[in-house]
Amino acid sequence: MVYTLIIDFDNKAKTKVIVLKPQITESELKEIVDKKKTKYFRRMLKTPKSHEVHVHSSMLVYEPIMLISGKYSANFYRKASYEINVDSNVKELVFEDGVFPATNFTPSSSFATKLKNNSVSIKLEEHVFVSHEDELVIDHHGKIRDFKYKVHNNDIENYPKRILKKNTVKDFEITEEAAAKKLILSLQSHEKFDDVRDLQENMSIDRMTKVYIPIFEARLIGPKRKVEILRYDAVKRKLL
């Protein structure tokens, strides 16, 4: 089987950066931490009192998620067989220099004979074209996940670079190239080719967006100096 794979990285769209706005105030966060901090030290159905757990430090951290999309197309030749229904008294079909015999030919013109099914099977090749698009959402650990955030104009920061520059930002543990390879594998997985020839596949990365999510982290110290980290999604307004 002749096989050609073309991956177009040169035309990849410029990476877009989006920073989501926190949907909660600092005072609300402090109230939530004070209310929820003891649950992190619950042991054997016993929960410490509020004064036994204190907040050592807290900070807003921006965690990135990558949205990467691309297009896939392929064309190839594959073997195929077509059944053509013909009259009962048709013995064969002649097409140019090819002769294709009928499966149930009979010269009789009786009514019973006419009720019999007669067909011609023609084996040939089809030139097939397929295409589709796909998108992956990859977290900063490099794992594929769902994206459940709203990204409307009123949900994003107007100056994303300024926000990221003055705050703590977690780095991706996966490179853009490695993320692109994950997308390529996903694009290819939609198609299975058996008994084909001259297969040519084309793939391109057409969009890459990095979305930064504000996550509030509080370092808690409880009984016996045990340490726990409270994490709160400041966009979804929920504990992680």
Residues 216, 172 share a domain: yes
Residues 33, 99 share a domain: no
According to the model, what pLDDT value does residue 63 have? Answer: 97
Q: Per-residue b/e over 144-156, b at no fewer than 16 CB within 10 Å?
A: eeeeeeeeeeeeb
- Concatenate the DSSP letters of all residues of 127-190 into one string: EEEEEEEEEEEEETTS-B--------GGGB-S-HHHHHHTSEEPPPSS-HHHHHHHHHHHHHHT
Residues 108, 169 share a domain: no
Q: Which residues of the chain have pLDDT under 70?
A: 1-13, 108-115
Residues 113, 29 share a domain: no
Residues 85, 54 share a domain: no
One-letter amino acid at 101 equals P
Residues 67, 84 share a domain: no
Residues 235, 141 share a domain: yes
Residues 198, 135 share a domain: yes
According to the model, what pLDDT value does residue 89 have? Answer: 85
Does the global pTM surpass 0.85?
Answer: no
Number of domains in the chain: 2
According to the model, what pLDDT value does residue 205 have? Answer: 87
Q: Which of 96, 125, 154 represents a domain boundary (last residue)? A: 125
According to the model, what pLDDT value does residue 206 have? Answer: 86
Q: Tokens 């009514």 appear where?
A: 111
According to the model, what pLDDT value does residue 177 have? Answer: 87
Q: Report d(CA 12, CA 10) in Å as an integer.
A: 6
Range of the domain at 94: 80-125
Question: Contact 24/234 with Cβ under 8 angstroms?
Answer: yes
Residues 65, 168 share a domain: yes
Closest CA to 228 of 97, 92, 52: 52
Following CA atoms 59, 60, 61, 66 in sequence, which dihedral angle do they give, to the nearest 10 degrees? 170
Give the model confidence (pLDDT) of 154-170 as tens digits.
Answer: 999 999 999 999 999 99
